Structure 1
């Protein structure tokens, strides 16, 4: 890398181009398309649907998160992403408004040039 620029020509202090589009998926109750450079993730929300998941408190809403990688099987890293996102959503959603329901959030990685990964604390 000459002059401190990256392989794609960006300077170290420049981000990949970013875009976000709401509701690109028509069958979902809500959806978004997030892109940064060649990384593209589609997110879809379904629900709330009646009933909670096994082991969940029926006096609160249940949140299910499914992370689908671009290729291959779901592994340990994807399960950690699901857990982190579920905990984050549980901390910001009002789970008592729709008790005994489940809302599903599905994330599909369409492209990944390095922007998908995040570090867990």
Structure 2
């Protein structure tokens, strides 16, 4: 059963998606990603010498910072940071570059709220 959404997509169509890499000159790696009205910018810096406090110096350390579009970092952003950090740690070989820290910064540039998603029939 195909039900058209208010934005013109059928039930099995995704919002338009785009991704670009190396969009920031001073970062060691960067990417921009968008899907519909949601736009996110990511930057990676490092590895640099030293680990954060309470981290094992015999392994690489990752620092994740999730910046919302506006306002202060809240509980939701802290949860995103934790999920991303655990994901990165689970796929990287942490003893290749011991006693180093790599910083990952995610900046939400534009987003659509859950209420807006419901009002246009996306959720």
Q: TM-score, normalised by structure 1?
A: 0.89
- Inter-partner Cα distance in structure 2 for 1:73 and 1:12: 35
Q: Counterpart of 2:46? A: 47
- Inter-partner Cα distance in structure 2 for 1:79 and 1:53: 17
Runs of 4+, deviation exceeding 2 Å: none
How far has the Cα of 1:4 moved from its partner?
2.2
- Inter-partner Cα distance in structure 1 for 2:90 and 2:14: 29
- For residues 79-114 of structure 1, give each alpha carbon's deviation from its aligned partner in whole angstroms, at most 9, with x where no partner exists: 000000000000001111110000000000001125
* SS across alignment from 2:90: helix
Matched, 1:22 2:30: no
Q: Counterpart of 1:83? A: 82
- Inter-partner Cα distance in structure 2 for 1:111 and 1:102: 28
Q: Counterpart of 1:118? A: none
Matched, 1:7 2:11: no
**Structure 1 vs Structure 2 CA RMSD:** 1.4
Q: Counterpart of 1:108? A: 107
- Inter-partner Cα distance in structure 1 for 2:113 and 2:83: 19
- Inter-partner Cα distance in structure 1 for 2:45 and 2:8: 40
- Inter-partner Cα distance in structure 1 for 2:57 and 2:90: 17
- For residues 3-57 of structure 1, give each alpha carbon's deviation from its aligned partner in whole angstroms, at most 9, with x where no partner exists: 7221211111110000110100111000000110111100000000110000000
